[in-house]
């Protein structure tokens, strides 16, 4: 049985990602449909223009959302693991994930613990590049959203 995508107040969340996206662009994440769209009001159009749209799996969304919410800073491993494992990014859920990671590190099982997260992030990376974004690791800390190379930036 699939787990619910997100338990959020709003089914569509908006992210301007100031400094990462052009001033007149923003992302809209539809948590119910699993779609992320890049919108623009460039050229003073009466309605926003849809520039890019991608569908994400539930597991990918559980990682994309905390990355978007953490911007402009990085998203720590424990938040990603808490979100991925149970969708629980409350303080208690994050603390549980932090303890799991600490125990995995002590037992030499860090890679095994994080492998499902890394694999899912790898699949999400190819989709997020369409928005001119990269998901980059920060060694021993977490992941951060960064601009993709200028050759792949969305046109708008």
Note the pLDDT tens digit of each residue in 67-101.
999 999 999 999 999 999 988 899 999 999 999 99
Give the start-to-end residue ranges of the domains of the chain: 12-150
Alpha carbon distance, N-terminus to C-terminus of the chain:
40
In this predicted model, what pLDDT tens digit does every residue of 141-154 receive, in sequence order? 999 999 987 444 44
Task: Report the C-alpha gap between 59 and 53 in whole angstroms.
Answer: 18
Q: Whole-model pTM? A: 0.86
Rg over alpha carbons for the chain, rounded to the nearest Å, is 16
Task: Identify the CATH number of the domain defined by range 12-150.
Answer: 1.10.10.10
């Amino acid at each position: 049985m699939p787990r619910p995508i997100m338990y959020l107040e709003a089914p569509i969340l908006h992210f301007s990602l100031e400094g990462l996206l052009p001033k007149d662009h923003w992302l809209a994440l539809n948590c119910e449909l699993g779609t992320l769209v890049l919108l623009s009001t460039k050229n003073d159009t009466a309605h926003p223009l849809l520039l890019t749209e991608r569908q994400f799996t539930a597991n990918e969304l559980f990682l994309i959302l905390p990355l978007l919410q953490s911007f402009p800073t990085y998203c720590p491993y424990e938040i990603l693991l808490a979100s991925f494992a149970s969708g629980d990014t409350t303080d208690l859920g994050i603390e549980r994930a932090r303890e799991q990671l600490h125990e995995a590190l002590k037992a030499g099982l860090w890679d095994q613990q994080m492998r499902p997260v890394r694999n899912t992030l790898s699949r999400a990376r190819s989709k997020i590049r369409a928005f001119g974004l990269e998901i980059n690791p920060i060694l021993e800390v977490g992941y951060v959203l960064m601009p993709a190379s200028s050759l792949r930036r969305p046109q708008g």
